Amino acid sequence: MTGRCRVPLAVGLIAAALAVGPLPAVAHEFSLESVMNGFVKLEPREAHLVVRVPLHVLKAVRFPLEGREIVLARADPDIHQALAVLGRDVSLFEDGHLLVPVGAVGRLSLPSDRSFDRYEDAVAHVSRVVPAAASIYADQGYLDAHFRYAVSSPASGFAIRTTVAPELKDYLKLAVRYLPLGEPGRAMVITSRSGTVSLNPAWYQAAGGFIALGIAHILSGFDHLLFLLCLVIPVLRLRQVVSVVTAFTVAHSFTLLGSAYGLSPAGAWFPPFVETAIAASIVYLALENIVGVGLERRWLITGLFGLVHGFGFSYGLRENLQFAGSHLLVSLFSFNVGIEIGQLAALDARTRRHPAQDGLAAARRECPGDARAVVGWRVAGRRRGPARCAARRRPAVAQAAARTGFLSGTCLHPLL
């Protein structure tokens, strides 16, 4: 009897829950990635910062609520507090000096408002009064602000920094459109982790930044480093190293520049194809190092593979070109210089003496008639020297093959 009664009781509870329906959510909705929109406009004696910030990132400000709706009639003191917080957290600099706002106005806006598509529309929107019938819910609208700054000259060096909600790190972005006087506008996206970002960098600032970026990119790109190592492992002469590295540099420079100017394929299939081709180039060189190297044609193979690696370099550069300002060519050249510096640093570490290199050098001294076979790791199809030459060659070939296979497996595991 008891077991039979439990079934209809459970069915009744489920039916009652379905009749009541889902309960309203109490917690506010939070977007995983949020965007602040802004404009920086220069005039002869003033700079203007117009910015739109989602309300859910302004945790320091508590707007008056009735339920979940903001009471607009009593929100002015909190808007002024929010302007003070925002004026401190979004900073403008002129020639390295922090600018202090000389005027600020702000208002609350609905999530559906599209006034920030153009600078003129954004400025006009901020100056208008919020309609009395508007209903803006907590954490679902925007704070729109317009700050004015006195500047010495529109030709000065200007920079911007955001520290709004730093705990969100890269999940909170500031999309800035920079509108200089008498020049085309530029756009960039920064976060609180970007630090102080120059809006109109001088050529030497852009060059220095992109050289550092190129060095960091090559030294952190294990696929490119492994390709270089596979490239020069069987090479003992400086002239041979210079020829293959020069071919690689010239080839990847062409595709890097072409990609920066939008000449590369734009389909979604192309980046995976490039990554697969880079992995295939490493496998090819590793196998060629093991079974036999044709050093006389390695520069040609290197050039062909360099074209592919140039597309890979462009992916590390693309999102940073926004910081080049008006110095695109200087930045591209500097990025390439940084890559070459990183390559030379990696090759310098490679060219230090190690057991396999010592073994190959000794074999060349003892077996001059079979030197090409030793340097090229060709263990068959060449003239045989004395028995001790074959004995010396086997450890060198085994060590080099083991090293190449280990490095290839380590690098290609995350790629394939």
pLDDT value for 339: 86
Q: Residue 161 — very low, low, confident or very high, per pLDDT cuts 50/70/90?
A: very high
Pairing of β 34-42 and β 172-179: parallel
pLDDT for 1 equals 44
Check residue 183 and report its DSSP letter: S
For 366-390, what is the mean pLDDT? 41
**221, 334: one domain:** yes
What are 174-201's pLDDT values in tens digits?
999 999 998 888 889 999 999 999 999 9
Whether residues 49 and 165 fall in one domain: yes
Environment class of 361 (CB within 10 Å of its CB; exposed 0-12, middle 13-18, buried 19+): middle
Q: How many domains does the chain have?
A: 2
Residue 251 and residue 358 in one domain: yes
Task: Give the pLDDT band of residue 345 (cuts 50, 70, 90).
Answer: confident
Are residues 48 and 178 part of one domain?
yes
User: Which phi and psi (to 5°) does residue 298 adopt?
Assistant: -65, -35
**For tokens 């302007």, what's the residue?**
83
pLDDT score of 245: 79
pLDDT at 214: 87
β partners of residue 91 = 161
pLDDT band at 413 (very low <50, low <70, confident <90, very high): very low
Cα 214 to Cα 312: distance, rounded to the nearest angstrom: 12
**Whether residue 259 has pLDDT greater than 70:** yes
H/E stretch holding 94: strand 90-94
Tokens 């309609």 sit at which residue?
131
Provide the pLDDT for residue 314: 85
DSSP state of 370: G
Judged against a pLDDT cut of 90, whether residue 49 lies above it is answered with yes
How would residue 403 be classed by pLDDT, with cut points 50, 70 and 90?
Answer: low
Of 154, 185, 200, which closes a domain? Answer: 200
**Residue 177 shares a structural domain with residue 224:** no
Please check whether residues 67 and 193 belong to one and the same domain.
Answer: yes
**Is residue 140 situated within a structural domain?**
yes
Domain boundary among 144, 173, 200: 200
Q: What is the pLDDT of residue 350?
A: 58
Looking at the structure, do residues 386 and 305 belong to the same domain, yes or no? Answer: yes
Judge if 122 and 223 occupy the same domain.
no
Mean per-residue pLDDT over the chain, rounded: 78
**Listed residues 200, 215, 242: the one ending a domain:** 200
As a residue count, the chain comes to 416
Expressed as residue numbers, the domain containing 398 is 207-412
Its pTM stands at: 0.66
Decide if pLDDT at 21 tops 80: no
Half-sphere exposure in the Cβ direction for 312 (13 Å, CA): 27
Residue 235 has pLDDT above 60, yes or no: yes
